[in-house]
Amino acid sequence: MAGKSQSGRVPVWLRVLLPSLLIVGWLAVAGVGGPTFGKLSGVIVNDQASFLPTSSESAQVQDALDDFLGEDEIPAVLIAASDEELSEDALAAFDALASDVEALDRVQEVSPAIPSDDGRAVQIVAVLDSEGGSTETNPVIDELREMLQDALPADVNGAVTGPAGFTADIAQAFSGIDGLLLIVAIMAVLVILIIVYRSPLLPLIVLSTSVSALCGSVFVVYQLAAAEVFEISGQTQGILFILVIGAATDYSLLYTARYREALRERDTRWQATVAAWKRTWEPVVASGGTVIAGLICLLLSELASNRQLGPVATIGILVSMLAALTMLPALLLVFGRVAFWPMKLSHGSEERAKSGVWQRIAELVERRPRLIWIVSLLLLVGGAAGLMQLQANGVASSEFVVGQSEARDGQEMIGEHFPAGSGTPTYIVADETSWQDVAEEALDNGEVESVAITSDDSAAGTVPYPAPEQGPLAAAEPTVIESTVLLQVTLTEPADSIAAQDTVVELRDALADDDVLVGGESAVALDTNLASERDRALIIPIVLVVIALILMVLLRSVWAAVMLTVTTVVSFATALGVAAVAFRIIGIPDMDPSVPLYAFVFLVALGVDYNIFLMTRVREEVVRLGNRKGILEGLITTGGVITSAGVVLAATFAALGVIPVLFLVQLAIIVAFGVLLDTTLVRSLFVPALALELGPRLWWPTRVQR
C-alpha cells in the first residue's frame, strides 16, 4: 500500500497536489484581480437620475431633455458674493471670467454674468459636457474653481456649485474607497485577528483568504460592469469591499475554530482537514445562502441603485464562501499545527478550560433563563422605542457629503442673493397647444420665482415668460419637439431641498389635468425617495419570509426558525431606534429612505448568520448530550468564535465611516452597532435563554433526542 495514507487511504500525491493547486489558483486570482481595483472607478456611475425607474415621471422628463437640450449636459453655477456691493472692477473681472470659461473644451454654453438685485453677488451658469460621467466632469470643475479664485478680488468669496459642482464633490468623497477604506478595513481586521488568535501566522493566513476573495469579487464585478450587464455606484463599491472582507473573515473564523478542534481529535492534518470541512460547509453555505437570499430580494426594487446591489453583493458572498472553503483549508493543511504557534495543539489535548468566560455565561443562563430573556427583551424593546425619532424621508443632496463641500457653500450663497433654485431649474414638458396655460398655472404657485420657455430663437436658449413686449425676444417662439414644449421653472427654494420636492408635488397635482410631465433635480430626488419607500415596504416582509423558510429547512424546526427570525428583527429594530436617537443628538436628524432597507438586509441576514452558527452547533450537541446540556454546550463552544466574527464584521462596516458620504456613515453606524448587539446580548443571552424556556418544543415538529 505504498503511497497511501494510513488513515483514509488517500494517496500522498493527492494530499500534496490538491492543496497546491488550490493555493496557486487563488494566488492567480489575486494576481489578476488586484490590478482591477484601479479600473473599477472607471465604470462607477454616481448620477442619481440614471438609477430611476424608467416609468417614473422624472425619468421620462430626463429622456425629453436629451432632445431639447442635447445629451450629456450638466449645469455648473459660478457664484461670487461680498458683504459689500461689488465694485465695477469685480463685475468686470466676472465678465472676463465668463469669456474665459466659454473657451474651455468641455464647456458647451455660458450665460453672461448675472448680478443680484442687492448688488452684492454675481453668477454665471455654464453648461458642461458630462459624457463619460463624473470622472470626466471632475477635472472641468477643478479648473473652473481655480479660474474663479484667480479672478476674484481678495474681499470677494466664490464657489462653483450646481448639479455639476455637487457631482464633483460626491465623486471626490468616494475617491477614498480604493485606498483609505481598504487600508482601514484590513488593518482593523488584522489587529482583531492578532488579539483573537495571539499568533503571528494565523491572522495572515485568514486575512490572505479574505483579500484573495475580494480580488476575485472585484475582477468579476468589473468585467460585468464593463460589459454593461449592470451599473455600479460608489456606495455599492464601498459596500462590496466591506462585505467581502467581513464575510470571508467570518467564514474563515468558523472553519479555523473547527480545524483547531479537529487537530485535537485527529492524528493527522489530512484527517483534521476532512473533519473540519465536513463540519463547516453546511453552516457556511446556509449562512451565506441567507445573505444571498436577502440580497436577491433587492431585485424586486424599483430603483436600479438597489437592484444593482443584489447581484454585486451576491458575487462577493459567493466568492467569500468559496475562498473560505477552499483556499483557507488548503493553507491550514499545509501549515498544520504550526499555524497556531505559539499555541500548542496536540492530539487529545483539552480545547478549553471549564472556568472560561463562556462557561460562566452558560451557567448564568442555566440558572435564570426566564429572567434573562425577559430582561433582554425589555432592553431591546426600550432601544427600539427610538424608532419614534426616525425620519427616513430623504435628505437634501447638499447634505450627501459629510464635512466641507464647496458646492454646498455655493448653494447657500445663491440662496442669500438670488432665487435659491437659480441654475438648477425644474423642467415641465407641456403640449404645444396649452403650454401658456401651464406656465400661468406654475406662476400661480408661491414657490415659483420665474418661468422660461426653451427657444432656439434666443442666444441664451431660453426666453422668459411672459416674454418682453419689445426687443428681439418678443418674437421668440418656443422650440417644439414631438408636439411638446419645455418650460424651465426657477424655484424660490434650493433644488435639492425637501421644500423644493414639496413644490414639485404641488405642481404635479395642479397640472394633473394638463397632460404634462414635471422633472428636474428636485423631481428626481422626490421620485427616488418615493421609490425607496415603496421598496422598503415590499422587500422587508419578503426577506423575512424567505429567511424564515431557509431556517425551517436548515434546522428542520418551525419554532426554532420563528424564534431566530423574531429575535433578529427585534435586534434590528433596537439598532435602528438607538441610531435614530443618536443621529438626532449629534444633529443629523434625517436619513435617506434606503438606509433602513440596506441596514435591514445586512443586519437581518448577517444576524441570522450568527444564529445559524450557534443553532447548528446546538442541534449537534443536543443529539449528543440532550436538549438542556446541548444548548449550553453549543453556547460555550461557539461563544468565542461567533463573538470574534461579530467584532470583525462590526469593525469592517465601521470602516465605511471613513468615506465622507452621509449614506455610508449612517449605514456604518447602524450595522456596526447592530452586529455587536446581536453577537453579545441577543446571541449570547436572549436566544439561549429562550431556547431553554421552550425546551424540546424548540425542535417541533421533529424530535431531536440524545
Q: Which of 642, 545, 486 is nearest to 66 (CA)?
A: 486
Q: Which three cell numbers stand for residue 343?
A: 499555541
Q: Which three cell numbers stand for residue 268?
A: 493527522
Please give the pLDDT value at position 306.
Answer: 82
Q: Do residues 480 and 505 touch, judged by C-beta distance below 8 A?
A: no
Q: In angstroms, rounded to a whole number, what is the distance separating the alpha carbons of residues 181 and 165? A: 24
Q: Do residues 249 and 648 touch, judged by C-beta distance below 8 A?
A: yes
CB crowding 121-156: b at 16 or more within 10 Å, else e: bbbbbbbbbbeebbbebbebbebbbebbeebbeeeb
Please give the pLDDT value at position 459.
Answer: 65
Q: In angstroms, rounded to a whole number, what is the distance separating the alpha carbons of residues 179 and 193? A: 21
Please give the pLDDT value at position 26.
Answer: 94
With a CB cutoff of 8 Å and minimum separation 6, the contacts of 323 are 26, 209, 210, 212, 213, 216, 248, 252
HEC sequence for 233-289: CHHHHHHHHHHHHHHHHHHHHHHHHHHHHHHHHCCCHHHHHHHHHHHHHHHHHHHHH
Residue where the block lists cell 470583525: 648
Q: Which fold has domain 411-527?
A: Alpha-Beta Plaits (3.30.70)
Q: Do residues 690 and 567 touch, judged by C-beta distance below 8 A?
A: yes
Q: Which three cell numbers stand for residue 679?
A: 453577537
CB crowding 5-29: b at 16 or more within 10 Å, else e: eeeeebeeeebeebbeebbeebeeb
Asked if the domains at 69-171 and 411-527 fall in one CATH topology, the answer is yes
User: Phi and psi of 395, rounded to 5°?
Assistant: -130, 155
Q: Which of 625, 637, 618, 629 is nearest to 560 (CA)?
A: 618
Q: Can you say whether the dihedral through the CA atoms of 326, 327, 333, 338 is positive or negative?
A: negative
CA atoms within 13 A on the CB side of 578: 19
Please give the pLDDT value at position 355.
Answer: 45
Q: Which of 605, 684, 617 is nearest to 644 (CA)?
A: 684
Q: In angstroms, rounded to a whole number, what is the distance separating the alpha carbons of residues 308 and 298? A: 8
Q: Which three cell numbers stand for residue 290?
A: 441567507
Residue where the block lists cell 418551525: 558
Q: Can you say whether the dihedral through the CA atoms of 625, 631, 636, 637 is positive or negative?
A: positive
Please give the pLDDT value at position 5.
Answer: 43
The pTM of this model reads 0.85
Q: What is the DSSP letter of 685?
A: I
CATH number for region 69-171: 3.30.70.360
Q: For the chain, how many residues are written? A: 706
Residue where the block lists cell 486575512: 207
Please give the pLDDT value at position 7.
Answer: 44
* Number of helices (H), then strands (E), in the chain: 22, 10
With a CB cutoff of 8 Å and minimum separation 6, the contacts of 8 are 270, 271, 274
Domain ranges of the chain: 17-46+199-351, 69-171, 354-389+556-706, 411-527
Q: Can you say whether the dihedral through the CA atoms of 479, 484, 485, 488 is positive or negative?
A: negative
Please give the pLDDT value at position 518.
Answer: 93
Q: Which of 438, 584, 590 is nearest to 525 (CA)?
A: 590
**Right CATH number for 17-46+199-351 from 2.40.10.10, 1.20.1640.10, 3.90.950.20, 3.40.50.880?**
1.20.1640.10
Please give the pLDDT value at position 570.
Answer: 92
Task: Name residue 429's beta-bridge partners.
Answer: 486, 517
User: Phi and psi of 17, rounded to 5°?
Assistant: -70, -45
Task: Name residue 76's beta-bridge partners.
Answer: 126
Please state, in angstroms and as integers, the Cα–Cα distance from residue 135 to each residue in 42, 142, 319, 415, following that order.
7, 12, 29, 28
Instruction: Give pLDDT < 70 ranges for the chain.
Output: 1-10, 13, 46-51, 70-72, 130-137, 176, 178, 345-355, 459-460, 469-475, 704-706
Q: In angstroms, rounded to a whole number, what is the distance separating the alpha carbons of residues 462 and 111? A: 11
Residue where the block lists cell 483557507: 328
Amino acid at 239: I
Q: In angstroms, rounded to a whole number, what is the distance separating the alpha carbons of residues 207 and 249? A: 7
- At the fourth CATH level, the homologous superfamily of domain 354-389+556-706 is Multidrug efflux transporter AcrB transmembrane domain (1.20.1640.10)
